[in-house]
Amino acid sequence: MGGRPYVLSEVTLSASRTTQYEVAILPWGATEPHNLHLPFGTDSLQAEAVANEAARLSWEAGARVIVLPTIPIGANAQQLGTPVTLNLDPSTQAQILADVAASLESHAIRKLLVLNGHGGNDFRQMIRELQPRTSIFLCASNWYTVADPGGFFDVPGDHAGELETSVVLHLAPDLVRPLSEAGPGRARVFSIGGLRDGTAWAPRDWKSVAADTGVGNPAAATAEKGRRYFLTVATKLSEFICELAAADLEDLYIEDPGAAS
């Protein structure tokens, strides 16, 4: 009996004393509405489930990996117009990340992967700032960009669309309202052309974008699509985690094998 050896909140002190973890995974989600049919915790539960499954596969392959407790609040300043969204400013997130990294440092865990589940979270600039100040190797991944969704979904969607709805139907079907209750997820776009074509970027004010908060129609979502995509993502991620666990941090660069000679 006992909890999963790669999920920190299920591990006991005795188990932790006999294991030197090589890689920690920090799932990071959000608390925000997801159209009318998915729960507020969608981004957190997805990131956590992907982390746990990728860690299970990695552990079974011999990598000593540990999933840290999920941070359930994301960068959501542009969603505060919709109830009952919660927000952590990026500067607050950076402080949390720094404190988690410092904690790991004192336990000689040398590698940290932030596994992000929310489009408004962006850990790259935080890592640029923090990396020179810590001995831990920091990296980040958005679970929903690990595998190309092209072969899995008709129109994946950005937020509470076919992709996310399918994955939650697979992971937690009891938390999904009937799809007949969902809005169409029709998003409005910026009136300024250059903000539509990528000339410039600005965050979107969510309440002006989508009446149901969704971006992408969930109508074609199924649990089977979600299962196939979820397993593909977890498998690919576990291959990365195993490689990261085995990597020598003093020797991280090689000649590009793809470069023309």
Point out which residues bind Zn ion (CB under 5 A).
Answer: 42-43
**Terminal-residue alpha carbon distance, the chain:** 55
Smallest distance from the beta carbon of 50 to Zn ion, in angstroms?
13
In the complex with Zn ion, the residue whose CB is nearer, 66 or 160, is 160
Smallest distance from the beta carbon of 15 to Zn ion, in angstroms?
33
In the complex with Zn ion, the residue whose CB is nearer, 5 or 157, is 157
In the complex with Zn ion, the residue whose CB is nearer, 115 or 138, is 115
In the complex with Zn ion, the residue whose CB is nearer, 42 or 76, is 42
Contact 146, 163 (CB under 8 A): no
Residue 21's alpha-carbon distances to 44, 105, 153, 191, in angstroms, are 23, 12, 36, 50
Handedness of CA 208, 214, 216, 220 (dihedral sign): negative
Nearest Cα neighbor of 121 from 28, 25, 26, 41 is: 28
Smallest distance from the beta carbon of 99 to Zn ion, in angstroms?
25
Q: Is 215 helix (H, G, I), strand (E, B) or coil?
A: strand
Q: Is 84 helix (H, G, I), strand (E, B) or coil?
A: coil
In the complex with Zn ion, the residue whose CB is nearer, 43 or 212, is 43
In the complex with Zn ion, the residue whose CB is nearer, 42 or 87, is 42
In the complex with Zn ion, the residue whose CB is nearer, 42 or 141, is 42
Q: Tell me the one-letter amino acid at 196.
A: R
Smallest distance from the beta carbon of 43 to Zn ion, in angstroms?
4
Contact 76, 120 (CB under 8 A): yes
Smallest distance from the beta carbon of 194 to Zn ion, in angstroms?
27
Q: Tell me the one-letter amino acid at 27.
A: P
Residue nearest to Zn ion (CB): 43
Q: Is 137 helix (H, G, I), strand (E, B) or coil?
A: strand
Query: Residue 228 and residue 235: Cα distance in Å, rounded?
Result: 11
Smallest distance from the beta carbon of 135 to Zn ion, in angstroms?
33
Smallest distance from the beta carbon of 42 to Zn ion, in angstroms?
5
The number of beta carbons lying within 10 Å of the beta carbon of residue 155 is 14
